Structure 1
Amino acid sequence: MNPDAYRPSPIGDVDCTATGDRWTLVFTRDLRHPPRKVWAALTDPDQLAAWAPYTAGRDLGTPGAVTLTMIDDEKPQDLPAEVTRAEPPTLLEYTLGDDILRWELTATGSGTRLALHHTVQARDWLPKVAAGWHLCLDVAEHLLDGDPIPPIRGMAATEFGWSELNDQYARKFDIPNTGLPEQPRDEDTAS
């Protein structure tokens, strides 16, 4: 597929819940592939690099410490992470900085139901996170289908419908749309 021809899929099956003083996005998507194939896309560093917003310093299929590198334009950021649960091919849970990601894979008659539970600090991040995962999972589906397109991440995501998805998810969650995540200014990051 020509990446310029990419258009986001329709808004996804999402929900959000309060989790103590934090918020959890639940993003569910049905995939046409068996759980083992989806598991590999979630854990193998080479496959993650092809669709996720980060790369992994090792395979995520076993518990333990790992470095996940967020790819945001020209300034990759290493984040400490910990795989807390890995039960192939049904459950993967790890931290990403202060966030918690839990991937649940359930075999269906035609493939896999993927449920991502992403816990964040602030409620206004839910639409942003949903829009980002929406694009990433679209790219992952292309990868799984054998029709890969380049990853959509960082500020480049705005060229592929991120802003519209953010707005749609904000309306769905009845959360004011606060726009793009704040980016550090150069003077804030200078030494």
Structure 2
Amino acid sequence: MSQNPYRTSSLAQVGCEAAGDRWTLVFVRELRHSPEKVWAALTEPGQLAAWAPYTADRSLAEAGSATMTMIDDEHPQDMEVEVVRAEPPTLLEHTFGTDLLRWELAATDTGTRLTLRHTVQDRDWIPKVAAGWHLCFDVAEKLLEGRPIPPIRGASAAGFGWSELNDQYAHKLGIPNTGLPEDLKGQNEGP
């Protein structure tokens, strides 16, 4: 385990929904921050780079094309994405390769209920994606609190409990844990 001042938070409320021939992870996280503050973390490139596996070439607060740069390993990769919907500060929906991410923000008495709906090709990926987003959201929470810690993404996620989270989310969701495909082992164990 790293010397990083990080402790894994409790498992999130998660679900898995069939979406035609695809599957959607529903990941709910309660954050102690306003929807406006959470919205900025989801849409502003500088904030994204501090917690997510990617950053963007522009603010994601408006619909339209954008380039996301995957920064989860040693070789950053650009990916063309489309911001399908942007309704500040309540709804952000964008493509992510062949995936679709829908971020729903609802004000609560204590801050924001963030619901991520991440649609993927294969059901086997749901617990893996949940584990990766869990770590990313833990980092985002620290950033929003004004106590940032280094991002946890890519292969380094293994040192912060990604495998255990993958096991726990697989069990919680009732999805067999298939581990990572051979071509990704040691490369990317995050979202």
Does structure 1 conserve the Cα–Cα contact (< 8 Å) formed by 2:67 and 2:80? yes
Task: Identify the residue that residue 189 of structure 1 maps to in structure 2.
Answer: none
Name the amino acid aligned to 2:114: L
How do 1:120-159 residues align onto structure 2 when only pairs under 5 Å count?
Answer: 120-159=120-159
Name the amino acid aligned to 2:85: R
SS in 2 for 1:65: strand
Give the Cα–Cα distance (whole angstroms) in 2 for the partners of residues 158 and 49 of structure 1: 19
Task: Identify the residue that residue 45 of structure 1 maps to in structure 2.
Answer: 45
Q: What TM-score, normalized by structure 2, do the two folds share?
A: 0.93
Please give the root-mean-square deviation of Cα atoms over the aligned residues, in Å: 1.4
Task: Identify the residue that residue 61 of structure 1 maps to in structure 2.
Answer: 61
Does structure 2 conserve the Cα–Cα contact (< 8 Å) formed by 1:7 and 1:161? no
SS in 2 for 1:176: coil
Name the amino acid aligned to 2:93: E
Percent of pairs identical after alignment? 70
Cα deviation, residue 52, structure 1: 0.3
Cα deviation, residue 182, structure 1: 4.2
Q: What CA deviation, in whole Å up to 9, does each residue of 1:87-133 have, x standing for no partner?
A: 00000000011000000000011110000000000000000000000
- After superposition, the Cα gap between the structure-2 partners of 1:129 and 1:98, relative to the gap in structure 1 and judged at 3 Å, is same
Task: Identify the residue that residue 171 of structure 1 maps to in structure 2.
Answer: 171
SS in 2 for 1:48: helix
Does structure 1 conserve the Cα–Cα contact (< 8 Å) formed by 2:5 and 2:149? no
Does structure 2 conserve the Cα–Cα contact (< 8 Å) formed by 1:53 and 1:154? yes
Which sits farther off after the overlay, 77-86 or 124-133?
77-86
Which sits farther off after the overlay, 23-32 or 69-78?
69-78
Give the Cα–Cα distance (whole angstroms) in 2 for the partners of residues 128 and 90 of structure 1: 26
Unaligned runs of 5+ in 2: 186-191
Give the Cα–Cα distance (whole angstroms) in 2 for the partners of residues 164 and 93 of structure 1: 29
Does structure 1 conserve the Cα–Cα contact (< 8 Å) formed by 2:131 and 2:166? yes
Give the Cα–Cα distance (whole angstroms) in 1 for the partners of residues 128 and 66 of structure 2: 25
Name the amino acid aligned to 1:109: D
How do 1:7-156 residues align onto structure 2 when only pairs under 5 Å count?
Answer: 7-156=7-156
Give the Cα–Cα distance (whole angstroms) in 1 for the partners of residues 12 and 184 of structure 2: 30
Cα deviation, residue 80, structure 1: 1.4
Unaligned runs of 5+ in 1: 186-191
Does structure 2 conserve the Cα–Cα contact (< 8 Å) formed by 1:3 and 1:149? no
Name the amino acid aligned to 1:162: W
Cα deviation, residue 73, structure 1: 1.7
